Structure 1
Amino acid sequence: MKSTHIVKELFVYPIKSLAGISVQSAKAEEMGFEYDRRWMLIDGENQLITQREHPVLSQFYPKIIDDKIEVTNLGKTHSFYIDESLANLIAVTVWDDESIVVEVNKSSSEWFSNQLGFTCKLVKIINNGDRKHKSTKLNTTFNVSLADGYPYLLVGSESLNNLNEKLKDKIGIERFRPNIVISSTTAHEEDSFDQFQIGKVHFQNVKPCGRCIMVNNNPETSRITKEPLRTLNTYRTVNNSILFGVNIVCQNPGIITVGDVLEF
């Protein structure tokens, strides 16, 4: 039986914590969409850099142009080749997971350092399996990208509509950095999804996604406010975690496209 749930939007975030790219179709892989969070910034101590500490990262706008990633910030643009990397391996930690990454090149690290005003490196994860994440709920270990935990985040349209009904200043879905936005009929019904298919790609719902201070960052201004976490806290808190959207994993590779129907 076909679902009434349809893919409305798809997003890829090439560099962790930078702005995302809206796309019409995307190649789903175990680690996440192709090019999604394969790159990130680390500081001089090899610690990851995110919008949590540096909300201005929302003002860096990437594009994928042929075989390059192009990033624009404050009127300045830098690009690097997708396949580009240096040889030296760097051990990093992405929250609870150890990962192996490599620096892209010295000029990219220098450009980001100049734009941000402190020393950092642009690094990438190359191989499937260079970072693994254990799901205690599913008792399974997944090969993942440099995303916070799981490779995909799915949000239903009514979840945002319901939230905006409670907010004085309405917000867009980009606050929640989803990969897949679907049309839905009731708020947060995606929490109850189990296994489903989009196109020829099978997905498994792992768990609802716990949200952090990043959703309070207005991506257009990089200004932190108290919303929407303050309002979400009044009706979406479970075990001290504020939930919005669901973390999902991909069970086989394939292309999904805006307009595709979810089948359960």
Structure 2
Amino acid sequence: MSTVHIVKEIYIYPIKSLAGISCKSALAEEMGFENDRRWMLIDAENQMLTQREHRIMSQFYPNISDGKISITFQDQEHEFFIDEHLENSIKVNVWDDKSEVVEVNHETSKWFSQHLGFECKLVKILKNGARKHESSRLKETFNVSLADGYPYLLIGSKSLDFLNDKLNEKITIKRFRPNIVVSTENAHEEDNFKTFTIGEVQFKNIKPCGRCIMVNNDPENGRLKKEPLKTLSTYRNFDNSVLFGTNIVSLNSGNITVGDALVF
């Protein structure tokens, strides 16, 4: 058993591109952690909405309690039931993947529309298999939620330390929206993880994660900055992709907890 690689932080992001929730433990499922990116905002043309175009989305803060999700934006709050949804299905795309979703309710969509300043809907993916993502690297297809590509993103602590040593203005791990943060000895050693177990769950590493302009959006205030992508591109650019963290999938369901060791 490794005494080096310990789970330091766990995060879920119930609604795609909104703020995340720090968790002490989480239930890992094939599609990702329970309640992680099962919801997404879409515009009037049923196109997904993200912080890439709407940085203000980082200022909506979710919380889960008593079977409900509450969203806080500035001094306003709205809540809906986790299991709540309308019946009519909607066809959407998450990048190149087709997915079937349903609207949560009209009131919730109206609340988001008012605060974002344009018509939108909050939708939910209901079942495993409603969206499939093909790995071009592995020639394998995965059942995923509404995340960009893969169910889980893992980052090693030394990767952030190494980057911060190069930055004038230090940043937190929240810039990279990980699901699992683990303690490591060397920067980016997580790129080379293969198969490993955390708690009750076996995970498989798929590939390092290519990063986009979204990591330059400061989640504390929603402002776009030049870093960290500018600095990362000087030493983490591989085949025109800037890599940070690694995409993983779970091979079974079960719980993982902060403090669990990675067993290789």
TM superposition score category, shorter chain reference: over 0.9
Query: 1:78 maps to which residue?
Result: 78
Matching of residues 91-102 of structure 1 within 5 Å: 91-102=91-102
Deviations 1:49-97 (A, max 9, x none): 0000000000000000110000000110000000000011000000010
Give the distance between the partners of 2:11 and 2:144, measured in 1 at CA: 17
Query: 2:105 maps to which residue?
Result: 105
In the TM superposition, structure 1's runs of 4+ consecutive aligned residues that sit over 3 Å from their partners are none
Give the distance between the partners of 1:2 and 1:61, measured in 2 at CA: 35
Query: 2:48 maps to which residue?
Result: 48
Query: 1:116 maps to which residue?
Result: 116
Unmatched segments (≥5 aa) in structure 2: none
Query: In the alignment, does 2:186 pair up with 1:186?
Result: yes
Q: Give 1:2 shift.
A: 3.2
Matching of residues 12-27 of structure 1 within 5 Å: 12-27=12-27
Query: 2:200 maps to which residue?
Result: 200
Unmatched segments (≥5 aa) in structure 1: none
Give the 3-state SS of the residue equivalent to 2:58 in structure 1.
helix
Give the distance between the partners of 1:152 and 1:136, measured in 2 at CA: 17
CA contact (8 A) 1:3 1:263 kept: no
Q: Give 1:138 shift.
A: 1.9
Give the distance between the partners of 1:138 and 1:7, measured in 2 at CA: 27
Q: Give 1:143 shift.
A: 0.5
Matched to 1:24, the amino acid is K
Matching of residues 123-202 of structure 1 within 5 Å: 123-202=123-202
Query: In the alignment, does 2:247 pair up with 1:212?
Result: no
Query: 1:249 maps to which residue?
Result: 249
Percent identity (aligned):
66
Query: 1:221 maps to which residue?
Result: 221
The normalised TM-score by structure 2 is 0.99
Give the distance between the partners of 2:100 and 2:235, measured in 1 at CA: 39
Give the distance between the partners of 1:139 and 1:8, measured in 2 at CA: 32
Matched to 1:209, the amino acid is C
Query: 2:90 maps to which residue?
Result: 90
Matched to 1:154, the amino acid is L
Aligned length: 264
Q: Give 1:3 shift.
A: 4.6
Query: 1:39 maps to which residue?
Result: 39
